[in-house]
Amino acid sequence: MEGDKYLQEFLVDTSMFNSIVLGHLLPSNWWVTLPHFLQTWLRNYIAGTLLYFISGFLWCFYIYYLKRNVYVPKDTIPSNRAMLLQIYVAMKAMPWYTLLPTVSEYMIENGWTKCFSSISEIGWFAYIIYFPIYLVIVEFGIYWMHRELHDIKPLYKYLHATHHIYNKQNTLSPFAGLAFHPVDGILQAVPHVIALFLVPTHFRSHVALLFIEAIWTANIHDCIHANLWPVMGAGYHTIHHTTYKHNYGHYTIWMDWMLGTLRDPEDDSCQRAQKVQ
């Protein structure tokens, strides 16, 4: 009985999220009669789509128009056609992408994971310990998932190649961040869910991180090298799109550094400059 009461706290949270998103964007008779699982999926789909478009358009407007030729040279700005194709691919996959957080929330609500509802349950000290461990598991998992999507040829051919048609600076844009085959996109996000079974995780932090992914992936596809160690920024990820065998990491360069797949944009620039000379 006590366990059921505790799990009810997760259900209260997800119901609140559903009400905030769906209640403000849709007539109530469109969604209140739906089963809770479908309400959650609909909320994730709408929120994910809005986040993708708002972050993508604002990012592109800033770097391609307000700061034209400051961050990205004119001849490397992707065409509208390229960006529209990226949007088309992402939108085809979005209904499937948003199943993952929906399923993860279902598992949390049913007590299958190590999630906890409130930081006050374990204290800030424990939270500060657990959260980096969660991120390390996610980083490790995404690195190997990404690398195997390249190394296992059928996975690359039938899944990951969809994303790698954007293999030059003038074809990459923030909109390319979610332009994946849906199975590919889900596989690369699965470590976020696996981590829930391995380390105590704050529920709202988990949900927030899954949606922050949309902003992060927009960032690493804008081709602007921020040079902020040890972050796996766009400079590193642009190299990944041109060589296909370097910089598989997600948030940081540590996994690539440890396993010998790191290629630094600064070194790359120096080599190109020497060739020009």
Mean pLDDT of the residues in the chain = 90
Strands (E) across 23-153 are located at 115-116
* Residue 128 identity (one-letter amino acid): I
Confidence band, pLDDT 50/70/90 cuts, at residue 145: very high
Residues 6+ apart with CB under 8 A from 56: 87, 173, 174, 175, 177, 218
Question: Are the C-beta atoms of 255 and 140 separated by less than 8 Å?
Answer: yes
Mean of the pLDDT values across residues 123-142? 96
- pLDDT for the residue numbered 3: 63
The residue behind tokens 């009810």 is 8
221 compared with 75, residue with greater pLDDT = 221
- Does residue 275 have a pLDDT over 50? no
The residue behind tokens 């932090």 is 205
List pLDDT tens digits, range 43-64. Answer: 999 999 999 999 999 999 998 8
3-state SS of the chain: helix, strand, coil percent to 5? 75, 5, 25
Phi, psi of 224 (to 5 degrees): -95, 120
- pLDDT for the residue numbered 150: 96
What's the rounded Cα separation, in Å, for the pair 255 and 187? 18
